[in-house]
Amino acid sequence: MRRFDGRVALVTGAAHGIGRATAQRLAREGAAVVVADIDVDAGEKVVAELAATGAEALCVACDVTDRESVHDAVSTTVDRFGGLDVLVNNVGVATDTPFEDVGEEEWRLQVDPTLNGAVRTIQAALPHLLRAKAGGAVVNVGSVNGLAAFGNEAYSAAKAGLISLTQNLALRYGRRGLRVNLVAPGTIRTRVWSQRLDKEPDVLERMAELYPLGRVGEPEDVAAAVAFLASDDAAWITGTVLRVDGGVLAGHTSFVREVFS
């Protein structure tokens, strides 16, 4: 499929994991892709991979906690490609600190990039998305943590806020041609698990048993859902939360026993 021919997509947190897979998927379907990440070296590697396939791609340094950095990333995108059609907000930060030990600074370090970072990026991109010829699309990467109790209270609160933001912006800008949706992944096999895997090599296999589909997710599972919501196949979909969770919310009780044990 070439659903994004002639369109420009900016993906934050695109140097690794879900963001990287999303950049790859959008590029494969014809988009000119901007890999926006604080890890520029890794971002450049992603761009090299995309360029090797014939895709148009650009890496920009982007710290979503810094408004100027975000505006610079969007401006560079528009200067290079002439516009912006798709924005994917993928940055999220979580820690395993028990709630009673989370101080104000640690709370901020999770909530600011995860929720406020998306706000900054949408605000910077909004004028360009509203001018997109085929209608702009924002896809926020949320989490099942924003829909049910899975611990990680600061991160979960930020992801819940992202759902509310998605729904409100969908209503506010729908008549102006902008669609705003959110994907809510469950457990995804990314580098965030690396430290825990060092201590518990079987942790993902153990979690897989709690999922009705019998496995944890892969970044490509989420990327496929993001691409759908960003494409014209979802032209009459806005304000929605698409669960990409292997059915875990349907069997939430068993997962909760594992998380809070």
Task: Cite the active site residues.
Answer: 155, 159
Amino acid at 227: A
| Biggest CA pair distance of the chain | 52
Please name the residues in contact with 251: beta carbons below 8 A apart, sequence gap of 6 or more: 210, 211, 212
Half-sphere exposure of 101 (CA within 13 A, CB side): 5
Counting Cβ atoms within 10 Å, is residue 34 exposed (0-12), middle (13-18) or buried (19+)?
Answer: buried
Please name the residues in contact with 125: beta carbons below 8 A apart, sequence gap of 6 or more: 10, 74, 84, 87, 138
260 closest CA partner among 141, 108, 156:
156
